[in-house]
Structure 1
Amino acid sequence: MHRSRPRGRSRGPSRVAAACVLVLACLGAAPGPSSPPPAPAPAVRWGECPERPVPDAMRCGTVQVPLDHAAPGKGTAEIALARIPATNPEKRLGSLLLNFGGPGAPGIASLAADPDAFAELGERYDLVAFDPRGVGHSEPVSCGGSQHTALEEGADAAAVLAALRAVVRSCELASGPVLPYVGTVHVARDMDVIRRALGDKKLNYLGFSYGTRLGAVYAAQFPGTTGRMVLDGVDSLTEPLTEQALVSARGQQRALENFLTWCAHQYGCVYGTNTRTAREKVEALVTRLDEEPLVGHDGSYVTGQDLVYAIGAALYSPLMWPALADALKTAERGGDPAELLQLGAPVEPSDGEEEVPDGPGKVPADNSEAALVAVSCADDPDRSDEKAGAAAVEKEMEALEEEFLKASKIFGPSQLSTVLSCYGRPAGTDFIRRIDRPGAPRMLLVGTRGDPATPYEWTEETAERLGSAVIVDYKGDGHTGYGSSPCVSEYVDRFLLSGRLPSGTRSCPAVE
């Protein structure tokens, strides 16, 4: 998968169990663009935000959308919004809707955390973020706690599937009526309701990572109301989950090798100057920590798979590479795992819900992971009950294991675990897979050559599918380019502020 941040997964006791640490979510096939015409624009009541702290100017609100856009009579859902007004209202261009990635990541908290990253755009645009349906304060889904299956050593495929289905039932019970209606096609329709509620004739949009899929799906459904659109860290529209996981493993491995090359040129790199043996040593460290975790003075510990997660998190930005180099040095020498934990080692979600400070709402502690799986399955049409037999599972996993290990001995096993995330569930929508030159206005796509989450080839594939895209080819490392590369930021800001867009592909050099 290829999201705003990597997800940690644990190795299970068997080949099949190792592939089952993600669980499924109930879903229904999302509708295509043949739904009834939109209802009148709803109103937004702006007021205090449910979380603290937020920027002084930020106000939050909710907008009601149909639970099922194809059948509005089924009820409504509330979508949470946040807005920071343009700081130069006399030259205001309208609203700029932002999505920071996911699926499963709340947009309001992301904007509140770093509004200065969009200061130039915020002079002339109202900056607007939202929590997509099923996420954060927008009818959050849940599985009632941890989604990891508790399986005994040597569990067979039939036991694995039974355990996964039991957790799915927990998701259905804990999530409520919104769960069958999550997914990118539904959220893109919500975005058009948001556009109308904000009073904008067209949707101006800046999306990152998974947010690029949202933007592309919006443009495919609503080409006539698509405004200036930028997609940075471009997601796949075509590949099934299995291929996405395989490509992601290759992308993470490529990013790791870029890091090891960098490390080899730094004084004191624990792996010396030989990048080939450095890769082998990292692989050996993962195996060693899976067999004997690194334990800290306070009882905290890091397994090999925790290490994989921490490395994946640090590869998202070259700014984190020095910290990763230091953490690997500590781990290799048997030191305290605190540095690795600070890089982002996974923390199991607690049972129940987390209170939101100073606000009336609650967000389930497992919401992010529950939404990730639910949306991913809703977007994939390839899984069905007929394909969910135990023998088929075992056969597929055995066939895929060698290919994933060839892609990356380090990241392959954890990426392989995503293959079963939708087994035994109804097939998702095929609308995204069928997008083909929808006739939307020209838009700007940014692809990063060293991106560990959304490989550059997805940028080219999506540009071809949209048929109206200009690519900025960023030669650097890390996930997404805006804010990391002044060259990328200049292209993006110029297009969003003036509408000027070059022709053909443009190149931005790596940032030294």
Structure 2
Amino acid sequence: MRKSPASALVILLVLAVGCSSEPEEPQVERRGPSGAVPGGLSGFYGQELAWTNCDGYGRSDDDTAALRQTKGVQCTHLRVPLDYAEPDGDTITIGVLRKSAADGDRRIGSLIVNPGGPGAAGLATAARLSGVGALNQRFDFIGFDPRGVGSSEPTVRCLTDAERDADRADDDELDTSAAGVAKVESEEKDYAAKCAERTGKGAAMLANLGTRDVARDLDVLRSALGEEKLSYLGYSYGTRIGTTYAEAFPGNVRAMVLDGALDPDQDSVDELVAQARGFQSAFDDFVAWCAQRQDCALGRDATRAQTAYQDLVRPLAKRPVEVGDGRRLSFSDATTGVTQALYSEQLWEPLNTGLNELKQNRARTLMALADLYLERGRDGRYTTTQDAFTAVRCVDDKPITDRAVVLEAQQAYKTAAPFLDDGAAATDSLDACAFWPVPNTSTPHLPTATGLAPVLVISTTGDPATPYDAGVALAKALGGRLLTYEATQHTAFLQGHRCVDDAGSAYLADLVLPAEGTRCSP
């Protein structure tokens, strides 16, 4: 999964949830239609938006707190077709947040933000980012929950909270026997069936959930907000949304910052292996940092750290560590927690703490990191991000049903990220997408976006989730400008890095791109 910007920092903050706001009369506005309107969709492009307070729009404790603590935010629902091929058919709604520009006289327009995922809710991200830098002086900050996600309805739902807990505790994917593989595939098939059964509008919703349709929703939102041209900030998987939009509506783009890019032409196997290399590199950077410390959980000899790590986590497959409240840290959870910590150097300290705890047969910190990644709240409830992630990927990429390809991919993954090697043999077990009830609606490809305005791609040299070379490839494919950030983290813009923030902000506000070859460092 690709995390939203600064999400790694939320884990260590306990945000108090304030009292509910008093009910208020909606502020009804009609600003559209604006700009180009596709045939048959004028009712959607010119719809009224009824803005009110954001109570009930957050889908996690932290997101709810962010919405309540950010002054001046308003929320609404945007109505869009379920199936754009049938605009007179069923409709669904998209959750939208706005924090209006502080300087109305110098207002440029709306800046629409997407945090990635896929499947991450976007309202709280926009609320948080509105307080960073000066962009909210001149832009309305707009967040949206993509179709099927967060406050949008219907929402993708596959597993119950109890089923998610049970799935995390079960390391059955490490059983590489024929019976073990059959059990894993049975569970994957059952998962796909539950997604179709438990998601509102069923298979029809799953069939129209992908990035192809999110990009169309984005254009409806642009028009309903009264914007002739789109100004967009997309992180991580949000760069795929931006790329898809640029290809479908190149003439509608004013400015676009794409940070933490996916390679547009890379298939899912190559992407997975490239991501494995990225996490291995981030792990190596963590080891180099840790080995300088007296308390390094993996020892002071960096050459032996990977073995020390595997000796520490592999036994969890047979002997999970009790955490309390009936929960146990599995091998899978430990891997998830470590992966979460590798998204940002700011989480290396708690990662070292968690590994030291594990040496003492304690696991609260690693479990907390895993809970953050999987968005499990303090009340034991999960957001639906993980379900939405799978559902989107299953229609955005061609499913892999060739067992030889699966086996080769697993072997390549273990080779690319040896620290993540569980010690079990690679298998050819198929995942949920191989049993998905609807076909894919898009595939990775080089985009064609004739007439696209210059875009800015930001890529970080040590990005574990979306490797640097992917940003290079996307900038080239879109004919955009590449800004390089030299650090080990996932995404960089509006995260307190002055060189990056100044360059991106100048581009969004004044359409001035940074000089060719610009590189920033901490």
Q: TM-score, normalised to structure 2's length? A: 0.81
Indicate whether 1:339 and 2:339 are aligned. no
Task: Report if aligned partners of 1:142, 1:367 keep a CA contact under 8 Å in 2.
Answer: yes
Aligned-partner residue type, residue 223 of structure 1:
P
Greater displacement, 430-439 / 445-454:
430-439
Deviation at 1:302, TM superposition (A): 1.8
Task: Report if aligned partners of 1:240, 1:382 keep a CA contact under 8 Å in 2.
Answer: no
Query: What SS does structure 1 have at the residue aligned with 2:398?
Result: coil
Task: Report if aligned partners of 1:377, 1:428 keep a CA contact under 8 Å in 2.
Answer: yes
Aligned residue for 2:513? 501
Give the distance between the partners of 1:95 and 1:400, measured in 2 at CA.
42
Deviation at 1:431, TM superposition (A): 5.7
Greater displacement, 320-329 / 426-435:
426-435
Task: Report if aligned partners of 2:81, 2:92 keep a CA contact under 8 Å in 1.
Answer: yes
Aligned residue for 1:249? 276
Give the distance between the partners of 2:373 and 2:513, measured in 1 at CA.
43
1:46 to 34, 48, 51: 51
Aligned-partner residue type, residue 464 of structure 2:
P
User: Structure 2: where are the runs of 5+ without partners?
Assistant: 9-36, 59-63
- Count of residue pairs the alignment pairs up: 463
Give the distance between the partners of 2:268 and 2:432, measured in 1 at CA.
9
Aligned-partner residue type, residue 65 of structure 1:
V
Give the distance between the partners of 1:434 and 1:306, measured in 2 at CA.
36
Task: Report if aligned partners of 2:266, 2:444 keep a CA contact under 8 Å in 1.
Answer: no
Indicate whether 1:134 and 2:148 are aligned. yes
Indicate whether 1:175 and 2:190 are aligned. no
Task: Report if aligned partners of 1:294, 1:302 keep a CA contact under 8 Å in 2.
Answer: yes
- Relative to 1, partners in 2 of residues 1:496 and 1:113: Cα closer, same or farther, differing over 3 Å? closer
Q: Once superposed, what is the RMSD of the aligned Cα atoms?
A: 3.1
Aligned residue for 2:486? 475
Aligned-partner residue type, residue 363 of structure 2:
P
Indicate whether 1:99 and 2:99 are aligned. no
Deviation at 1:190, TM superposition (A): 0.3
Query: What SS does structure 1 have at the residue aligned with 2:445?
Result: helix
Deviation at 1:498, TM superposition (A): 1.3
2:158 to 140, 143, 155: 143
Query: What SS does structure 2 have at the residue aligned with 1:476?
Result: coil
In the TM superposition, what whole-angstrom CA distance separates every residue of 1:100-150 from its partner, at most 9, and x where no partner exists? 111111111333455423x41111100000100010111211114246498
Aligned-partner residue type, residue 499 of structure 2:
C
Aligned residue for 1:234? 261
Aligned residue for 1:124? 138
Aligned-partner residue type, residue 344 of structure 1:
A
Deviation at 1:379, TM superposition (A): 0.8
1:401 to 401, 410, 418: 410
Aligned residue for 1:71? 86
Query: What SS does structure 2 have at the residue aligned with 1:295?
Result: strand
| Within-5 A mapping of 1:364-403 | 365=382, 367-383=384-400, 387=401, 392-393=402-403, 395-403=404-412
In the TM superposition, what whole-angstrom CA distance separates every residue of 1:20-71 from its partner, at most 9, and x where no partner exists? xxxxxxxxxxxxxx98564242221101212444222000001111111222
- Relative to 1, partners in 2 of residues 1:486 and 1:173: Cα closer, same or farther, differing over 3 Å? same
In the TM superposition, what whole-angstrom CA distance separates every residue of 1:57-92 from its partner, at most 9, and x where no partner exists? 000001111111222122211111000011111111
- Relative to 1, partners in 2 of residues 1:45 and 1:418: Cα closer, same or farther, differing over 3 Å? farther
Aligned residue for 1:277? 304
Task: Report if aligned partners of 2:267, 2:444 keep a CA contact under 8 Å in 1.
Answer: no
Task: Report if aligned partners of 2:248, 2:449 keep a CA contact under 8 Å in 1.
Answer: no
- Relative to 1, partners in 2 of residues 1:323 and 1:144: Cα closer, same or farther, differing over 3 Å? closer
Task: Report if aligned partners of 1:300, 1:337 keep a CA contact under 8 Å in 2.
Answer: no
- Relative to 1, partners in 2 of residues 1:314 and 1:418: Cα closer, same or farther, differing over 3 Å? farther
Aligned residue for 1:17? none
Aligned-partner residue type, residue 460 of structure 1:
V
Query: What SS does structure 1 have at the residue aligned with 2:143?
Result: strand
Deviation at 1:335, TM superposition (A): 4.4
Aligned-partner residue type, residue 191 of structure 2:
V
Aligned-partner residue type, residue 198 of structure 2:
A
Give the distance between the partners of 1:99 and 1:44, measured in 2 at CA.
20
In the TM superposition, what whole-angstrom CA distance separates every residue of 1:341-384 from its partner, at most 9, and x where no partner exists? 2323479899xxx99xxxxxxxx94621111011111111354x
Give the distance between the partners of 1:417 and 1:374, measured in 2 at CA.
21
User: Structure 1: where are the runs of 5+ without partners?
Assistant: 8-33, 356-363
In the TM superposition, what whole-angstrom CA distance separates every residue of 1:402-429 from its partner, at most 9, and x where no partner exists? 3221111333569999972411335413
Deviation at 1:437, TM superposition (A): 4.5
Task: Report if aligned partners of 2:281, 2:462 keep a CA contact under 8 Å in 1.
Answer: yes
- Relative to 1, partners in 2 of residues 1:48 and 1:102: Cα closer, same or farther, differing over 3 Å? same
- Relative to 1, partners in 2 of residues 1:237 and 1:419: Cα closer, same or farther, differing over 3 Å? farther
1:435 to 436, 440, 447: 447
Aligned residue for 2:30? none
Aligned residue for 1:85? 100
Task: Report if aligned partners of 1:82, 1:108 keep a CA contact under 8 Å in 2.
Answer: yes
Give the distance between the partners of 1:401 and 1:248, measured in 2 at CA.
13
Task: Report if aligned partners of 2:458, 2:482 keep a CA contact under 8 Å in 1.
Answer: yes
- Relative to 1, partners in 2 of residues 1:461 and 1:427: Cα closer, same or farther, differing over 3 Å? farther
Greater displacement, 160-169 / 484-493:
160-169
Aligned-partner residue type, residue 506 of structure 2:
R
Give the distance between the partners of 2:198 and 2:502, measured in 1 at CA.
45
Deviation at 1:276, TM superposition (A): 1.8
Aligned residue for 2:27? none
Deviation at 1:484, TM superposition (A): 4.3
Deviation at 1:271, TM superposition (A): 2.8
1:165 to 186, 189, 193: 189
Which one scores higher on RCO, CA 8 angstroms, separation ≥ 6? 1
Deviation at 1:442, TM superposition (A): 0.7
Task: Report if aligned partners of 1:249, 1:412 keep a CA contact under 8 Å in 2.
Answer: no
- Relative to 1, partners in 2 of residues 1:485 and 1:61: Cα closer, same or farther, differing over 3 Å? same
